[in-house]
């Protein structure tokens, strides 16, 4: 039996809070971005204040929080970029 996983990439302030740029997460089954973000915040509670505004890309495509993450996917997590 093989363990299914996803590769998670963190950028900017999210990387600072998690203290890593990349890690592997076990993911035995498909999960919604919303549910996965709940797990992310449980693992890294300091992300709680920014949870609602976190952006996610799956396999380099920006997705909304209703999208599904599948085992084997690459998931990038970042804050929206603001300019002025």
Q: Determine the pLDDT at residue 70.
A: 97
Domain ranges (residues) in the chain:
5-78
Report the pLDDT value the prediction gives residue 1, as an integer from 0 to 100.
Answer: 39
CATH architecture of the region 5-78: Roll (3.10)
Which residue's structure tokens are 């970042």? 78
What average pLDDT does the chain have?
A: 93
To 10 degrees, the CA torsion angle through 82, 32, 8, 14?
A: 30
pLDDT tens column, 8-49: 999 999 999 999 999 999 999 999 999 999 999 999 999 999
Q: What is the pLDDT, as a whole number, of residue 80?
A: 85
* CB-count exposure of residue 1 (10 Å: 0-12, 13-18, 19+): exposed
């Amino acid at each position: 039996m093989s363990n299914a996983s996803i590769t998670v990439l963190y950028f900017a302030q999210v990387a600072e809070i998690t203290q890593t740029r990349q890690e592997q997460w076990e993911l035995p089954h498909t999960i919604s971005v919303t549910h996965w973000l709940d797990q992310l915040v449980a693992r890294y509670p300091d992300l709680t204040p920014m949870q609602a505004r976190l952006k996610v890309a799956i396999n380099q495509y920006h997705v909304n929080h209703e999208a599904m993450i599948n085992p084997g996917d690459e998931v990038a997590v970042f804050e929206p970029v603001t300019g002025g």
